[in-house]
Amino acid sequence: MANDKSSMQLITRGILSENPIFKLALSMCPAVGISTTVMNGIMLGIAVLFVQVFSSVTISLFKNLIHPRIRIPTYTLTIATWVTVIDLVLAAYMPEAYAKMGIFVKLIVAFAIITMRLEMFACKESVNDSFWDGLGMGLGFMVGMVVIGFVRELLGSGMILGYDVLGFKPLLFFILPSAGFFVVGLMMAFFNWIEVYYKRSKGLK
Protein backbone atom coordinates (compact mmCIF):
# COMPACT_ATOMS: atom_id res chain seq x y z
CA MET A 1 0.00 0.00 0.00
CA ALA A 2 1.85 3.02 -1.19
CA ASN A 3 1.06 6.40 0.20
CA ASP A 4 -0.09 8.91 -2.43
CA LYS A 5 -0.23 12.01 -0.26
CA SER A 6 2.32 14.81 -0.18
CA SER A 7 4.03 15.84 3.05
CA MET A 8 1.78 18.89 3.38
CA GLN A 9 -1.35 16.79 2.94
CA LEU A 10 -0.12 14.41 5.61
CA ILE A 11 0.26 17.26 8.07
CA THR A 12 -3.13 18.84 7.38
CA ARG A 13 -4.74 15.42 7.56
CA GLY A 14 -3.40 15.03 11.07
CA ILE A 15 -4.65 18.43 12.14
CA LEU A 16 -8.04 18.49 10.41
CA SER A 17 -9.63 15.52 8.74
CA GLU A 18 -8.07 12.93 11.05
CA ASN A 19 -7.51 14.99 14.17
CA PRO A 20 -6.63 12.50 16.93
CA ILE A 21 -8.95 13.98 19.51
CA PHE A 22 -11.89 15.31 17.52
CA LYS A 23 -12.03 12.82 14.65
CA LEU A 24 -10.34 9.63 15.75
CA ALA A 25 -11.45 10.06 19.40
CA LEU A 26 -8.19 8.60 20.70
CA SER A 27 -6.22 9.56 23.79
CA MET A 28 -9.30 10.99 25.43
CA CYS A 29 -8.02 10.58 28.98
CA PRO A 30 -5.43 13.37 28.71
CA ALA A 31 -7.81 15.43 26.61
CA VAL A 32 -10.30 15.38 29.45
CA GLY A 33 -8.00 15.19 32.43
CA ILE A 34 -5.15 17.59 31.78
CA SER A 35 -6.60 20.17 29.39
CA THR A 36 -7.61 22.64 32.09
CA THR A 37 -5.24 25.34 30.86
CA VAL A 38 -3.69 26.33 27.54
CA MET A 39 -0.21 25.89 28.96
CA ASN A 40 -0.86 22.27 29.93
CA GLY A 41 -2.09 21.64 26.40
CA ILE A 42 1.03 23.13 24.83
CA MET A 43 3.36 21.21 27.16
CA LEU A 44 1.72 17.85 26.63
CA GLY A 45 1.36 18.60 22.92
CA ILE A 46 5.09 19.22 22.50
CA ALA A 47 5.96 16.06 24.40
CA VAL A 48 3.56 13.94 22.33
CA LEU A 49 4.82 15.53 19.12
CA PHE A 50 8.40 14.48 19.84
CA VAL A 51 7.52 10.96 20.94
CA GLN A 52 5.21 10.46 17.96
CA VAL A 53 7.76 11.64 15.39
CA PHE A 54 10.67 9.69 16.88
CA SER A 55 8.63 6.50 17.31
CA SER A 56 7.15 6.71 13.80
CA VAL A 57 10.58 7.13 12.24
CA THR A 58 12.09 4.33 14.33
CA ILE A 59 9.34 1.84 13.49
CA SER A 60 9.45 2.84 9.84
CA LEU A 61 13.23 2.28 9.78
CA PHE A 62 12.98 -1.20 11.27
CA LYS A 63 9.66 -2.21 9.72
CA ASN A 64 11.16 -5.13 7.80
CA LEU A 65 12.86 -6.54 10.87
CA ILE A 66 9.80 -6.60 13.12
CA HIS A 67 8.14 -9.97 13.37
CA PRO A 68 4.40 -9.46 12.76
CA ARG A 69 3.44 -11.45 15.83
CA ILE A 70 5.35 -9.26 18.25
CA ARG A 71 4.74 -5.91 16.61
CA ILE A 72 2.63 -4.53 19.47
CA PRO A 73 5.26 -5.26 22.18
CA THR A 74 7.85 -3.74 19.86
CA TYR A 75 5.78 -0.57 19.45
CA THR A 76 5.35 -0.28 23.20
CA LEU A 77 9.05 -0.82 23.71
CA THR A 78 9.90 1.86 21.13
CA ILE A 79 7.52 4.37 22.65
CA ALA A 80 8.76 3.62 26.17
CA THR A 81 12.36 4.07 25.05
CA TRP A 82 11.70 7.46 23.48
CA VAL A 83 9.62 8.60 26.42
CA THR A 84 12.47 7.68 28.77
CA VAL A 85 15.04 9.42 26.59
CA ILE A 86 12.97 12.61 26.39
CA ASP A 87 12.27 12.43 30.10
CA LEU A 88 15.98 12.16 30.91
CA VAL A 89 17.05 14.86 28.47
CA LEU A 90 14.41 17.30 29.70
CA ALA A 91 15.31 16.63 33.32
CA ALA A 92 18.98 17.25 32.59
CA TYR A 93 18.93 20.25 30.27
CA MET A 94 15.59 21.99 30.82
CA PRO A 95 14.92 21.53 34.54
CA GLU A 96 12.42 24.38 34.73
CA ALA A 97 10.23 23.09 31.92
CA TYR A 98 10.60 19.58 33.30
CA ALA A 99 9.26 20.65 36.68
CA LYS A 100 6.03 21.63 34.92
CA MET A 101 5.63 18.83 32.38
CA GLY A 102 7.54 15.94 33.96
CA ILE A 103 4.40 14.13 35.00
CA PHE A 104 2.84 14.46 31.54
CA VAL A 105 5.87 13.04 29.77
CA LYS A 106 5.68 9.81 31.74
CA LEU A 107 1.99 9.47 30.85
CA ILE A 108 2.69 9.32 27.14
CA VAL A 109 3.67 5.64 27.18
CA ALA A 110 0.00 4.78 27.51
CA PHE A 111 -1.30 7.03 24.72
CA ALA A 112 -3.41 5.14 22.20
CA ILE A 113 -2.80 7.62 19.41
CA ILE A 114 0.90 6.84 19.14
CA THR A 115 0.52 3.04 19.02
CA MET A 116 -2.33 3.46 16.54
CA ARG A 117 -0.26 5.58 14.16
CA LEU A 118 2.58 3.09 14.31
CA GLU A 119 0.20 0.23 13.51
CA MET A 120 -1.76 2.05 10.83
CA PHE A 121 0.94 4.01 9.09
CA ALA A 122 4.56 3.76 10.13
CA CYS A 123 4.89 -0.01 9.81
CA LYS A 124 3.87 0.14 6.14
CA GLU A 125 5.13 3.43 4.76
CA SER A 126 8.51 4.96 4.01
CA VAL A 127 10.59 6.78 6.62
CA ASN A 128 9.96 10.13 5.00
CA ASP A 129 6.17 9.76 4.94
CA SER A 130 6.16 8.40 8.48
CA PHE A 131 7.99 11.49 9.66
CA TRP A 132 5.40 13.83 8.14
CA ASP A 133 2.53 11.70 9.37
CA GLY A 134 3.95 11.70 12.90
CA LEU A 135 4.44 15.45 12.74
CA GLY A 136 0.86 15.95 11.53
CA MET A 137 -0.63 13.72 14.20
CA GLY A 138 1.47 15.31 16.94
CA LEU A 139 0.45 18.78 15.79
CA GLY A 140 -3.17 17.69 15.54
CA PHE A 141 -3.08 16.44 19.10
CA MET A 142 -1.45 19.67 20.25
CA VAL A 143 -4.03 21.81 18.45
CA GLY A 144 -6.82 19.76 20.00
CA MET A 145 -5.38 20.09 23.50
CA VAL A 146 -4.79 23.84 23.10
CA VAL A 147 -8.31 24.46 21.80
CA ILE A 148 -9.93 22.52 24.63
CA GLY A 149 -7.57 24.15 27.13
CA PHE A 150 -8.44 27.59 25.74
CA VAL A 151 -12.18 27.08 26.20
CA ARG A 152 -11.85 25.55 29.64
CA GLU A 153 -9.35 28.09 30.95
CA LEU A 154 -11.31 31.05 29.61
CA LEU A 155 -14.68 29.87 30.89
CA GLY A 156 -13.44 28.18 34.04
CA SER A 157 -11.01 30.66 35.50
CA GLY A 158 -11.31 33.67 33.21
CA MET A 159 -7.65 33.47 32.23
CA ILE A 160 -5.56 32.73 29.15
CA LEU A 161 -2.02 31.41 29.64
CA GLY A 162 -2.21 32.51 33.24
CA TYR A 163 -3.11 36.13 32.40
CA ASP A 164 -6.39 37.39 33.76
CA VAL A 165 -8.34 38.54 30.69
CA LEU A 166 -11.92 38.53 31.94
CA GLY A 167 -11.35 39.61 35.53
CA PHE A 168 -14.01 37.22 36.82
CA LYS A 169 -14.72 33.50 36.74
CA PRO A 170 -17.69 32.79 34.44
CA LEU A 171 -18.26 29.11 35.14
CA LEU A 172 -16.15 27.22 37.64
CA PHE A 173 -17.71 24.04 36.28
CA PHE A 174 -15.38 24.08 33.27
CA ILE A 175 -12.33 23.45 35.43
CA LEU A 176 -13.80 20.21 36.77
CA PRO A 177 -12.96 16.95 34.93
CA SER A 178 -16.56 16.28 33.92
CA ALA A 179 -16.63 19.51 31.91
CA GLY A 180 -13.85 18.05 29.78
CA PHE A 181 -16.35 15.62 28.28
CA PHE A 182 -18.75 18.44 27.43
CA VAL A 183 -16.06 20.53 25.78
CA VAL A 184 -14.67 17.57 23.81
CA GLY A 185 -18.18 16.63 22.71
CA LEU A 186 -19.05 20.14 21.59
CA MET A 187 -15.72 20.43 19.76
CA MET A 188 -16.33 17.15 17.97
CA ALA A 189 -19.72 18.35 16.85
CA PHE A 190 -18.21 21.63 15.70
CA PHE A 191 -15.45 19.91 13.70
CA ASN A 192 -17.94 17.56 12.07
CA TRP A 193 -20.27 20.44 11.24
CA ILE A 194 -17.41 22.33 9.58
CA GLU A 195 -16.51 19.27 7.54
CA VAL A 196 -20.09 18.74 6.37
CA TYR A 197 -20.48 22.41 5.56
CA TYR A 198 -17.19 22.48 3.65
CA LYS A 199 -18.05 19.41 1.60
CA ARG A 200 -21.49 20.76 0.71
CA SER A 201 -20.07 24.08 -0.40
CA LYS A 202 -17.67 22.21 -2.67
CA GLY A 203 -20.55 20.29 -4.18
CA LEU A 204 -19.41 16.98 -2.76
CA LYS A 205 -22.02 14.69 -1.35
Partner 1 sequence: MRDIITIVVRLTVSCLLAATVMGLCFIFTSNAKKHNEHVKEQQVMYELLGYKGGAAIPESLAMHEVYRYVISNSEKQSIGYLVPAGHGEDGKFLFVNIDLDGTMIESKPVTLSAIEALEAETRNKAVLAAVSPGNTVTFADQTIVVTENGNRIAYLLGGKFQGFKTFVHVMLAVDPAFSFVGMEILEHEEDPGLGAEIEQDYFKNQFKGKPFAALKAIDVVKAPIPDDYFKALTGKVSDDDIMQFREQYKDKDIYALTGATISTKAVAYGVKGIVTKFAYRVTVLDKVLKEQQLAVSF
User: Which of 151, 143, 141 is closest to 37 using CA atoms?
Assistant: 151
Determine the size of the site formed for partner 1 (CB under 8 A).
Answer: 19
Cβ neighbours of residue 22 under 8 Å, at least 6 residues apart? 144, 184, 187, 188, 191
**Cβ closer to partner 1: 72 or 194?**
72
- Which position among 1, 2, 92, 204 is part of the footprint of partner 1 (CB under 8 A)? 92
Instruction: Using the rule CB under 8 A, give the single segment among 27-35, 86-94, 108-116, 151-159 that binds partner 1.
Output: 86-94
Query: Taken in order 190, 172, 32, 92, is the CA torsion positive or negative?
Result: positive
CB atoms within 10 A of CB 159: 16
Ranges within 42-71 binding partner 1 (CB under 8 A): 65-67, 69-70
72 binds partner 1 (CB under 8 A): no
74 binds partner 1 (CB under 8 A): yes
Report the nearest approach of partner 1 to the CB of residue 18 (Å).
29
d(CA 173, CA 145): 18
Instruction: Using the rule CB under 8 A, give the single segment among 26-34, 88-96, 166-174, 191-199 that binds partner 1.
Output: 88-96
Using alpha carbons only, what angle is made at residue 43 by residues 42 and 46, rounded to the nearest 5 degrees? 80
Report the nearest approach of partner 1 to the CB of residue 111 (Å).
18
**Buried-exposed string 178-187: b where 16+ CB fall within 10 A, e elsewhere:** ebbeebbeeb
CB atoms within 10 A of CB 67: 8
Report the nearest approach of partner 1 to the CB of residue 181 (Å).
22
Report the nearest approach of partner 1 to the CB of residue 77 (Å).
5
- Which position among 80, 116, 120, 171 is part of the footprint of partner 1 (CB under 8 A)? 80
36 binds partner 1 (CB under 8 A): no
| 159 φ, ψ (degrees, to nearest 5) | -125, 160
- Residues in contact with partner 1 by CB under 8 A are 65-67, 69-70, 73-74, 77-78, 80-81, 84-85, 88-89, 91-93, 95
